[in-house]
Homo-oligomer: A and B are copies of this chain.
Amino acid sequence: MVTRRRRTESEPVRREQLLGAARKVFKEKGYDGSTITDIVREAGVAQGTFYLYYASKRAIAVSLRDDLMKRMSVAVEGSMKSGKSFEERLKKLISASFGVARQNADLYRLAFIGADETHQEMHTESSEHASFLTAVMNLFKGAIDDGEMESADPEIAARLATGLLQHAMIEAFVFGEGEESDRLESGVGDLLSSGLVRSV
């Protein structure tokens, strides 16, 4: 009979442990290709322990995605503070986003694995994603008020600009390996500058 280890860790520690294991496993085998068994094996905990912390495989993937989005929000919000003009802040927004995506290409990939109903919630606007969107929207509102941006529906504009940015990052990091990220990043910058910044 084998002696069972029964390391009782604090909840946050366990979550982190599982999250890290999941990230590694998803990176190596993809979402569909990974099993809970892979994750717990990597984490060194028992099968059942997983369910004490996450309700499902999807739940942990969502959690990983939220982490990424939070990191992106934080980076973006921080970055924009320092910009003087709208155009400058726009550039900073874009480069901060690309920066985070570049550092977390694996999570970025994971975050866009599917929109089927079984994966639907991965795309559901999470509160993290919402806060990113709000930051962009606020940037736009301010710029419109300051006369630095063409007047437009700031919500739609923010969603489209965010979508464009996202698409560029997907092309760069999900379908590509990052080798085109510079060209895509400056392409987005140019398009949004011309498209949004009011010419004097």
Contacts and interface: CB of A to CB of B under 8 A. Distances in A.
Nearest to A161: B191
Chain A interface helix/strand/loop/mixed: helix
Contacts of A174: 115
Interface string A160-172: 1101101110110
B152 A163 contact: no
Interface stretch (A43-51, A95-103, A182-190): A182-190
B156 A163 contact: no
A95 to B, nearest CB: 16
Nearest to A123: B175
Contacts of A147: none
A187 B153 CA distance: 8
Q: Which of A32, A115, A184, A195 has the most CB of B within 10 A?
A: A115
B163 A171 contact: yes
Contacts of A183: 153, 156
A179 interface: no
Given A191-B157, A192-B195, A32 B164 contact: no
A118 B175 contact: no
Interface of A: 30-33, 109, 112-119, 123, 150, 152-153, 156-157, 159-161, 163-164, 166-168, 170-171, 174-175, 183-184, 187-188, 190-192, 194-196, 199
